[in-house]
Copies of this chain bind each other. A is one copy, B any other.
């Protein structure tokens, strides 16, 4: 026996077409509102207004404000996973030296952040990050680290004591430094300086380590 459905969630998915569009309209509106007002002042009323809906209707598509935020954030993460995967696949056939795949990876990651740095900042810094989000995030990082590890292991010119650990460090550094850069100079994210500095740092690390 199914448990009582939560209020406002339609039992069956209705007109798929229209509903999907409305849902997307809410998400787009929320992205604009959060970008402009930030998290706290990005009220559900404003989101509803921007989506040309009433508050109640918004709550028909999302159980609460944070779930809108979460959806937006998860979409960003998925985009990131995809972008990094694509960038690595593109160089996968060429030689596997870090000097070659690192710029692609770092560049892809930086690109991703250059689109709407302000929204990104709101999403990842100003807003609360529920455990569910952190989990997904960490999962994404683990996936990235696995991919990196493959590259590390396949390069005979490297002699790493612990490729698994090195891969995690590589991902952590890219993640941290790109994010930090975004939050401090939003206008300048795709500067080649950023990319090359990170690449230099990591190449030095990978080539030097003999533990």
Contacts and interface: CB of A to CB of B under 8 A. Distances in A.
A184 B129 contact: no
A193 B117 CA distance: 33
Contacts of A128: 39-40, 126
A33 to B, nearest CB: 16
Label chain A's interface by main secondary structure: helix
B209 A208 contact: no
Contacts of A165: 197
Interface string A94-128: 00000000000000000000000000000001101
A187 to B, nearest CB: 16
Interface string A167-180: 00100110111011
A189 to B, nearest CB: 15
A: contact size bracket: 20 to 34
Interface-central residue, A39, A179, A197, A209, by most chain B CB under 10 Å: A197
Contact of A201 (B39, B125, B169, B197): B169
Nearest to A175: B180
Contacts of A200: 205, 208-209, 211
Contact of A205 (B134, B172, B205): B205
Nearest to A130: B126
A138 interface: yes
A1 interface: no
A207 interface: yes
A131 to B, nearest CB: 11
Interface of A: 39-40, 125-126, 128-129, 134, 138, 165, 169, 172-173, 175-177, 179-180, 183-184, 197, 200-201, 203-205, 207-209, 211
